């Protein structure tokens, strides 16, 4: 199952990325993990940039883990992709946009504001507003008061 996933992932990766993904890889039977799946970038600044992005990309074959927290081969391939693209000078948000374009919004843990997701962002403000109004109602009247109706 795992190997099958790896093969599919590699094929998908090959089709998608062509020379970039496969330049360092050898066509060998053991199907080694992608070059930067378990290898950090030499420049710590770039590695941190990559790391921060990887922590917000969902591993599609795991349950609720980011690709930075997963042994799944697909996650390894994506880590490798992200590290290589960061090393090539791409901006994290550009890579995220590219991933979203390929895999859909599901892949990013940072939901975008869309016609469907705006309540997610309005809710904290709304809750704060309601909480603020409730507290204000009680606290602005500088009289003794009760705590009912909160």
Partner 1 sequence: MIAEFGLAALWFAAALAFLQLLAGALALTGRGEGLGAVIRPVAVVQGVLALVAFGALLTLFAETDLSVKLVAENSHSAKPMLYKIAGAWGNHEGSMLLWVTVMGLAGGFVALVEKRLPEPTMQATLAGQAFVSLGFYAFLLFASNPFDRLSPVPAEGNGLNPLLQDPGLAFHPPTLYLGYVGLSIAFSFAIGALVTREVGPAFARAMRPWVLGAWIFLTLGITAGSYWAYYELGWGGWWFWDPVENASLMPWLAATALLHSAGVLAARNALRAWTVMLGVVAFSMSMVGTFLVRSGILTSVHAFAVDPKRGTFILALLAIYIGGALTLFAIRAATVTEGERFAVTSRESALVFNNVMLTGSLGIILMGTLYPLVTEAFGEKVSVGPPYFNPVTAIFVVPMLIVLAIGPLLRWRRDNVKRIAPMLAIPAVLAVLALGAAIVLAPGRVLPIIGLALAPAIAAASVLPLRGRKLRQVKLPLWGMVLAHLGVAMALFGMASDSAFTTEKLVAVRVGDVTPVGPWSIRVAAVEPIAGPNWTALEAEMQASYEGSAPVVLRPQARTFWAPPQNTAESALHTRWNGQLYTVLGDQAADGRWQLRLWWKPFVPMIWLGGVLIALGGLLALLGRVASDVRRLVVRDRIAFRRERQGR
In 106-144, which positions are buried (b, 16+ CB within 10 angstroms) versus exposed (e)?
Answer: ebbeeeeeeeeeeeeeeeeeeeeeeeeeeeeeeeeeeee
Interatomic CA distance for residues 66 and 50, integer angstroms: 13
The minimum distance between CB 46 and partner 1, in angstroms, equals 14
Query: Which structure tokens are listed for 7?
Result: 């093969």
Q: Looking at beta carbons only, is 18 or 127 nearer to partner 1?
A: 127
Look-up of token digits 């795991």: 62
Q: How far is the CB of 47 from partner 1 (least distance, A)?
A: 8
33 makes contact with partner 1 (CB under 8 A): yes
The C-alpha atoms of residue 19 and residue 14 are separated, in whole angstroms, by 8
By beta-carbon proximity to partner 1, the closer residue of 18 and 85 is 85
Taking CB under 8 A as the rule, does residue 8 contact partner 1?
no
Contact residues toward partner 1 (CB under 8 A) are 2, 28, 30, 32-33, 38-40, 51, 55-56, 58, 63-66, 68-71, 104-111, 116-117, 119-120, 123-124, 127-128, 131, 134-135, 138-139, 142, 144-150
């Amino acid at each position: 199952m795992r190997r099958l996933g790896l093969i599919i992932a590699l094929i998908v990766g090959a089709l998608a990325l062509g020379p970039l993904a496969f330049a360092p890889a050898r066509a060998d039977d053991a199907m080694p993990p992608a070059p930067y799946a378990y290898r950090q970038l030499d420049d710590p600044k770039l590695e941190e940039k990559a790391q921060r992005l990887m922590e917000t990309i969902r591993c599609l074959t795991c349950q609720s883990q980011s690709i930075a927290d997963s042994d799944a081969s697909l996650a390894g391939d994506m880590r490798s992709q992200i590290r290589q693209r960061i090393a090539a000078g791409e901006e994290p948000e550009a890579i995220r946009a590219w991933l979203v374009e390929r895999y859909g919004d599901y892949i990013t843990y940072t939901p975008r504001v869309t016609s469907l997701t705006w309540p997610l962002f309005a809710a904290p403000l709304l809750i704060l507003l309601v909480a603020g109004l409730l507290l204000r109602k009680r606290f602005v009247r500088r009289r003794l008061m009760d705590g009912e109706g909160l």
